[in-house]
Amino acid sequence: MTHRIDRRDLLALLGAAGTATWLGAGRALAAETPITVGILYSGSKQDYGYNQSHANAAAALRKLPGVKVIEEERVPETIAAQRSMEGMINQDGAKLIIATSFGYFDPHVLKIAAKYPDVTFAHCGGIWKPGMPENVGTFYGYIFSAQYLSGILAGHMSKSKKLGVVAAKPTPNLIRSINAFALAARSVDPGITVQVIFTGEWTNPVREAESATSLIDQGADVIACHVDSPKVVVETAEKRGVMSCGYHSSQAELAPKGYLTGAEWNWVVPYTDFLDRTRARQPLEHYLRGGLAADFVKTGPIGAVVTPAARAALEQTRAKLISGETVIFSGPLKDNKGNVVIPAGTVHKENDRALDPINYLVDGVTGQA
């Protein structure tokens, strides 16, 4: 008999003692139906960033009873992705394919899913629409809520009142996160300003180092980032003696003196949902999303430099975000050109689809979106 972990029970276990405790409880469950899971990454699993966040979840799945995980790194967003998925299905017997990179979705996941209707496909970030294969599910997390918490720490810890952000491209997802970071910091001190430099590429270590250096030279004493691998940005901040906030997965070990925290994904939660539904042969969630309350996103380790007052403020803010007492995007709110972008009385909750097309930077943020 297949034993399905109820989502409420899973979140209670995660909230009570973290993923490790949940995994320990998972071992005590009744034997699960054996299943092979195939996972594709566009980059290295040890990138200290986006790919590593997924690899961490894969490692958690690997510890579950009856689960075999097959992984392939550096798979291009081309027909090579189709070949990798078919290889996992035909050679390894995978019944669940997790495609972690945005460019895998259309046409690659959709094409292979139509060819293998008895296999479940879970894609990170895609948008499922009626008419697409029913064996395809998509998932993502509201990472801007975790970025807001990073902004709370940055606001409390900054002495120069100047924060810097190194970002890849001005996509709506990145802009939401940058705005959330800035709104949080300015809620601590309205005199704080945030300067953003867009590198134009998801991964460009040279440009990332140059951007971080430029922001520090202009007085920023906390550097945050929105790039695929924050390693270079965090290391540059540490070498220059300023504080940093990470992204995707933990970079705490790279900056023992200046690391504040990071906005991290907790992909094991949606991974487990698709795993359980596949085993139980239940209908998929085609649009699976979650934030802090659902444990899809989290804050990373809190650095030793963080003061008790800043830590307390973070925990208080986290509780208010989860309860709904604090809403990040609510009116009145102006962009950095003085235009009212969210009128007074308007509230956009974490899962509000009206936030999807955001293309403005908020008041107090300099940079060109």
pLDDT tens readout for residues 114-133: 999 999 999 999 999 999 99
**C-alpha angle 260/264/265, rounded to 5°?**
175
Which residue segment(s) compose the domain that 271 sits in? Answer: 7-142+266-297
Q: Are residues 192 and 336 in the same domain?
A: yes
Residues 38-60 pLDDT 10s: 999 999 999 999 999 999 999 99
219 φ, ψ to 5°?
Answer: 110, 0
Helix (H) or strand (E) holding 234, with range, is: helix 231-239
| Rg of the chain, C-alpha, whole Å | 20
The residue out of 282, 297, 312 marking a domain boundary is 297
CA distance 369 to 170: 5
- Judge contact between 55 and 124, C-beta under 8 A: no
- pTM summary value: 0.89
Q: Are residues 208 and 320 in the same domain?
A: yes
CATH of the domain at 289: 3.40.50.2300
- Asked if residue 314 belongs to a domain, the reply is yes
Predicted confidence at residue 219, as pLDDT, reads 98
Q: Are residues 129 and 163 in the same domain?
A: no
Please list the ranges in the chain whose pLDDT falls under 70: 1-32, 369
Nearest Cα residue to 264 out of 12, 62, 18, 39: 18
Q: Are 90 and 169 in the same domain?
A: no
CB atoms within 10 A of CB 337: 9
Cis peptide before 332 (omega within 30 of 0): yes
Give the model's pLDDT for residue 33: 84
Name 12's Cβ contacts closer than 8 Å, sequence gap at least 6: none
Angle at 113 between CA 110 and CA 117, to 5 degrees: 145
Task: Please tell me whether residue 262 adopts helix, strand or coil conformation.
Answer: strand
Q: Residue 124 half-sphere exposure, CB side, CA atoms within 13 Å?
A: 24
1 domain residue, yes or no = no
In this prediction, residue 201 carries a pLDDT of 94
- pLDDT, residue 369, reads 61
Number of structural domains found in the chain? 2
